[in-house]
Structure 1
Amino acid sequence: MERINKLKEFLQGSPDDSFLKHALALEYIKLNDDAAARVLFEEVLAHEPEYVGSYYHLGKLLERAGETTAAISVYEKGMEIAKGLKDMHAYNELQAAHEDLVY
């Protein structure tokens, strides 16, 4: 909880900081609070669509929730963004997750 409280404190000073929101979402996942994590990942991607790491984690969260179609869409969007950014590492991770669901 200390890390969560620290991240929340930092967010008060920088409420639109995608890194902080992403980090907080990962902390919520560790606590099995996927609902809180999902809100944060969605906020990150709405504010900064190029924050490619959030696509992978949001997709995995949706998979756990049984929302396969939504997870596939998130992976596809993330792959499109990663390709545009020439971030092949992120693209490959998203593609592997996508293929696990589709094939």
Structure 2
Amino acid sequence: MSPEVLIALITAVSVLGAAVVAAVPALLALQRRTRGAVEADGAATRAATLDALDAVGARIEAKFDAHIGDLRDDVDDVRESVARVREWQAGHDAEHLLITRPRSGGDA
């Protein structure tokens, strides 16, 4: 490894190390402030969050209940369509059986 590359690597590691050392006190102070804020407002924040989640759940359930009837109607329509197709298919298969059936009493 050339000396220039080695010097560049040492310089880069030194700069990163200095940045980390300088950032640690600021990060610790930020952590102390946020921990105190969360502990002070924890119960109120938790209650507000649970209330908001209950409201969202109620809205989702209302929308689901509003659309479940439509969904059931659509499923019934699909079932009826499938039944009609199966009936037609059974009749069509019977026609083919009758058409391809060998006739007796021929030129055997």
TM-score w.r.t. the length of structure 1 is 0.21
Larger radius of gyration: 2
